[in-house]
Amino acid sequence: MWGIAGVQSNQTITYSPHRANAILPRRLSPPSRIRFSCLLQYNPFFVQQVMAMEARAQAVGAPPQYYMFPQNAGLSAEDAQRAIDAGLPIDRILPDLHVGASGAVEAAAALFDNPPVPGFFSGAINCETNADSHDHLRALQEAADLIDWFTADPAVTGRLYARTASFCTSTSSQFDYWDQVSGHFGAGSDTGLAGQMSSTMSM
C-alpha cells in the first residue's frame, strides 16, 4: 500500500467509489490484511503519519504493520529521534534500498552500522533491483545476488525483510527510458530471508 507525500495525518482524502474499490478491495477489510505500507517521498509528516497509522492499526486489532521509507539513507537524525520519542516500533520502519542488479545486503549492513541516532535499530527492505536488463546475464546476476542474501550474516538478513526483482517486456519510454516495467517477482518471509524463500508475482 502506498501513501501520498505531503498529506498530513489529520487530513482526509476522498476517493470515488470506483477508485476506492481499486485501491482497497473489499476482501482486505475489515479487518485489513495489509502489512506493509510505503509512504512515498521524504516528507515532513512521515513520523506523524506512522504514528497515526500505528494507532489505527492497534485500535482495529490489525497485525503488526511495517512502514517502508522511500530513501536508502533512512530517516534524518531529527526524525529518527522523534520516532524513538514517540515510542514507534523502530524495527518496523524499513528504508527501501534501491540498488542495481545487486547490493542490498551490503547497503543494509552499512545502514545498520551507521544509525542516524543511537538506538535507532530499523529494519530494511529491498523493493527495487534496477538492473536495466532481462537477458541471461540478468539471470546470472539474480543468482549471484540470491547467493549473497542466503550466505550473508544473519544479523543483517534477519532485519532485511524482502527482495523484489523486475523482469521486463518493454521500456518505460514515457518516463525515464529505463528498461524495467511489467512484472515483479518477490521473495521473502516475515523474519527476513535467512530461513526460507517464497515467491510471488504480480502483473
Number of domains in the chain: 1
Residue-wise pLDDT tens digits, 38-65: 876 777 899 999 999 999 999 998 899 9
How many helices (DSSP H) and strands (DSSP E) are in the chain?
6, 8
Residue-wise pLDDT tens digits, 160-202: 999 987 655 555 555 555 555 444 443 333 333 332 233 332 2
DSSP H or E stretch at residue 45? none
> Whole-prediction pTM value?
0.70
- Domain range holding 193? 2-202
Cα separation, 128 vs 141, in Å, equals 14
